[in-house]
């Protein structure tokens, strides 16, 4: 019985380490976009979307969305991306609103995957997974945070729970 509870505690701690690690990465991703202006106001976002389109990185169903909607509203979406990444990072690092942040992160990563990771129509099946590793690994992390109790330890929620039980 003690072994099972120790295993559960270790599992919760491992998930928390992963949650905090992903959160710190998203803080880094969002920080330079929010506190700098290159990405949001000086064409950084448009550069990346245009590059995805020019290099054939966008899945065929996504290309018209990128051209017709994303690029026409690029500045607003750039700010949404910047502050979204920062918010996801803060939530995961602190362990607050983890499920909401994970759902947002999941949608964001799938959007990036379909916008930039297309291996081409002649690619072998396995190449679709190889081309998407930079985003699909985060997709799996966000799924784990949604399914598991990623805020059970080392989080504001856990800290508040500990204080009320004293």
Show me where the domains of the chain are located. Answer: 15-164
Q: What is the predicted pLDDT for the residue at 166?
A: 64
Instruction: Please report the pLDDT score of residue 4 as a whole number.
Output: 65
Any idea what DSSP says for residue 68?
Answer: I
Q: For residues 121, 124, 130 and 136, what is the CA-based torsion angle, rounded to 10 degrees?
A: 70
What global pTM score does this model have?
0.93
Residue 143: pLDDT band (50, 70, 90) is: very high
Summary mean pLDDT of the chain: 95
Residue 123 has a pLDDT of 96
| Predicted local confidence at residue 163, as pLDDT | 77
58: alpha, beta or left, given left = phi > 0 and alpha = psi -120 to 50? Answer: beta
Please give the average per-residue pLDDT across 147-153, as a whole number. Answer: 94
Residue 3: which pLDDT band, with cuts at 50, 70 and 90? low
- pLDDT at residue 164, as a whole number: 78
CB-based burial label for 104 (10 Å; 0-12, 13-18, 19+): middle
Residue 132 has pLDDT above 60, yes or no: yes
Choose among 126, 81, 83, 106: nearest CA to 22.
Answer: 106
Q: Using alpha carbons only, give the angle 16, 149, 79 rounded to the nearest 5 degrees.
A: 70
Distance between CA atoms of residues 20 and 82, nearest Å: 19
Confidence of residue 1 (pLDDT cuts 50, 70, 90): very low
Q: Is pLDDT of 149 > 90? A: yes
pLDDT digits (tens, 9 = 90+) for 22-50: 999 999 999 999 999 999 999 999 999 99
Report, as an integer, the average pLDDT of 49-61: 98
Burial 64-89 (b: 16+ CB within 10 A, else e): eebeeebeeebeebbbebbebbbbbb
Model confidence band, residue 160 (pLDDT cutoffs 50, 70, 90): confident
Distance (Å) of CA 69 to CA 28, 63, 74, 126, 146? 27, 10, 8, 30, 29
């Amino acid at each position: 019985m003690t072994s099972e509870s120790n295993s559960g505690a270790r599992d919760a701690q491992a998930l928390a380490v992963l949650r905090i690690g992903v959160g710190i990465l998203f803080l880094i991703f969002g920080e330079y976009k929010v506190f700098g202006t290159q990405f949001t106001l000086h064409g950084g976002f448009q550069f990346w979307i245009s590059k995805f389109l020019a290099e054939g990185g966008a899945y065929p169903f996504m290309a018209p969305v990128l051209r017709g909607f994303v690029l026409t509203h690029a500045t607003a979406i750039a700010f949404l991306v910047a502050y979204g990444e920062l918010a996801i990072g803060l939530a995961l690092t602190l362990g607050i609103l983890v499920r909401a942040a994970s759902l947002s992160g999941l949608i964001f990563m799938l959007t990036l995957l379909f916008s930039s990771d297309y291996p081409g129509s002649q690619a072998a099946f396995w190449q679709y997974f190889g081309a998407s590793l930079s985003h699909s690994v985060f997709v799996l992390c966000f799924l784990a945070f949604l399914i598991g109790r990623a805020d059970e330890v080392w989080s504001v929620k856990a800290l508040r729970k500990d204080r009320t039980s004293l």
